[in-house]
Structure 1
Amino acid sequence: MFAQGIAPVTTSEIGIGIGGANYKGEISPNYRFLNNQPALTVFYRRDMSNAITLRGGLMGSHRIAENNTFSDEVYADDRPYHTYREGEIYLSLLEVSGVMEYNFLDYYDMKQKPRVSPYVFVGVAGLVYNIKLELHEPLLPGANGDRIKPFETNVAVSVPFGVGVKYALSRHWNLGLEFGARKLFTDRFDYLSEDDEVYLANPHDKDWYYYNGVSISYTFYRTNCPPVYKKNPGLLD
């Protein structure tokens, strides 16, 4: 990005991505790849140095459905509460995030062939999500209506972090692959928390959600001209 005898060049990117969103909590206590539901993302990335880039983005996913899989040995042996609850959630979310990426290689060095770099990222995100919970166990107390909690809209804050790799298809076009986790500070992302004693929620862990996918982006280059010399420079200029 910086070459001897050449004015510094900075870059910015706009991009879109497609992938899968996932959730981990009371209904789905383990990350399961097959539970991914389609998700889309748009982002803007700006380099701050050869190693550091900043990225802001939007990510959305509609109707993430997590079904309790009773044939799963993990649920049957280690998670007996899942058989008792027979729970299912429907979840839509929209995330706004800002993250810092650390690139392990100088991705902006045009002499590098091929131009590729793995990276790690961490940041902060806010999200709006819409959740509905259904519990199908007939032995649970209350009428049927009490066991179906209607759609509810909430907001939350999370810490996104993860890994990725970017590859230059050409001078302007880039391909990316990323896997990221989001640490939440609430246990009500799936409507189940320690307050719901009847439904046997785990009070000792918070909920998580994930995004993994591929992206394509377009790079803009800007040459930063050096400052204009003064007509009458002083002794210290």
Structure 2
Amino acid sequence: MKNENSVVVSLFIMGFFLMISNIDIQAQEYKYEIGGAAGTSFYMGDANRTKFYLHPGMSGGLLFRYNLNFLWSIKTGISVANVSGKSEDAGNSFPFAQQASFHRTLAELGAQVEFNFFPYSDKYAYLGTKPYTPYLFTGVGGTYATGNKTFFGANIPFGVGFKYKLKNRMNIGIEFSMRKLFGDDFDVTEKTTGWNLDSPFGIESSFLKNKDWYSFTMIFLTWEFSKREDPCHGN
């Protein structure tokens, strides 16, 4: 078993370095994008177990994208949003009919890797490029949220998007993403020693089994810059 695991890890590392070594081959015309995004946000957790877009808030942010090639990009950005929840919407009966609600303003800093389903460019049609593509992404981030009991912790974002070239150097798109939090007190904004949404049934959640998430749905607009000398063969 150890030998099999070593082979899998070795193949993964080899594949990663092969991808990096060919990173500039058949690349987009411009290396970088910068822009902004705006949309809506919502929370899921003990106070909302299953309903998307319950008590939606506003979200917005700034983003920077480095286009490795036609298929792969690395994106960094900062986002802010409002999220809220009420335990009466949870669909659960809590001990002693307890109820709680919360509202937070959050700020997030993160980085993500994106994979385009189609080679993305409004040029080089002979290479099979298209001026539109759906894409998947995942990464890592950090979240800070306001309240008398502040929240700070890591998150794992993952989602799906669609982008389209309005014209050369200008892109528009839409993203839907979920953020997995590694803490179960995102929905607790007050410092209390009694009942709250951290462990509403008196059972502490583990590091990996917490129930708190938040989500963004945002439309973005970006502008490309820093032209490659020879985008089809690297530089």
Secondary structure class of the residue paired with 1:178: strand
- Cα deviation for residue 82 of structure 1 reads 8.5
Q: Of 106, 131, 154, which aligns to 2:151?
A: 154
Distance 1:69 1:220, change over 3 A: same
- The structural deviation recorded for 1:114 is 5.8
CA-to-aligned-CA distance 1:67-92 (integer Å, 9 cap, x gap): 3445xxx71xxx11299222110111
Decide which of 46, 62, 65 is 1:26's aligned counterpart: 46
C-alpha distance in 1 between matches for 2:213 and 2:138 = 15
C-alpha deviations, 1:106-158, integer Å up to 9, x for none?
11251458610110001000111113xxxxxxxxxxxxxxxxxxx22231100
Are 1:53 and 2:73 an aligned pair?
yes
1:180 aligns with 2:185: no
Q: Note the C-alpha offset of 1:210.
A: 0.9
SS of aligned partner of 2:149: strand
Unaligned runs of 5+ in 1: 132-150, 227-237
Q: Given the superposition, is the C-alpha separation of residues 119 and 189 from structure 1 closer, same or farther in structure 2, using an over 3 Å criterion?
A: same
Any runs of at least 4 consecutive aligned residues in structure 1 with deviations exceeding 6 A, and if so which? none
Amino acid at match of 1:97: G
**Alignment match, 2:55:** 35
> Normalised by the size of structure 1, how large is the TM-score?
0.73
Give the root-mean-square deviation of aligned CA atoms: 2.8
Distance 1:8 1:104 in 2: 15
Does residue 213 (structure 1) correspond to residue 218 (structure 2)? The answer is: yes
Q: Counting strand residues as a fraction of each chain, which structure ranks higher?
A: 1
> Are residues 1:222 and 2:227 paired?
yes
Counterpart for residue 98 of structure 1: 111
Give, in whole Å, the separation in 1 of the partners of 2:170 and 2:29: 17
| Residues matched between the structures, number | 195
Report the secondary structure of 2:180's partner residue.
strand
Task: Output the CA distance in 1 between the equivalents of 2:173 and 2:119.
Answer: 15
2:146 paired with 1:130: yes
Residue type at the aligned position of 1:110: K
Taking the aligned partners of 2:166 and 2:217, their CA distance within structure 1 comes to 20
Greater Rg by CA: 1
CA separation in 1, counterparts of 2:216 and 2:46?
A: 19
For 1:151-187, what per-residue CA distance to the aligned partner results, in whole angstroms no more than 9, with x for missing partners? Answer: 2223110011110010010002111110001111111
User: Structure 2 CA distance, aligned partners of 1:163 and 1:119?
Assistant: 6
Which consecutive residues of structure 2, in runs of 5 or more, have no partner in the other structure? 1-23
Cα distance in 1 for partners of 2:39, 2:95 equals 28
Distance 1:82 1:52, change over 3 A: farther
Asked if 1 retains the 8 angstrom alpha-carbon contact of 2:142 and 2:155, the reply is yes
Identity, % of aligned positions: 25
Whether the 8 Å contact between 1:8 and 1:224 is mirrored in structure 2 is: no
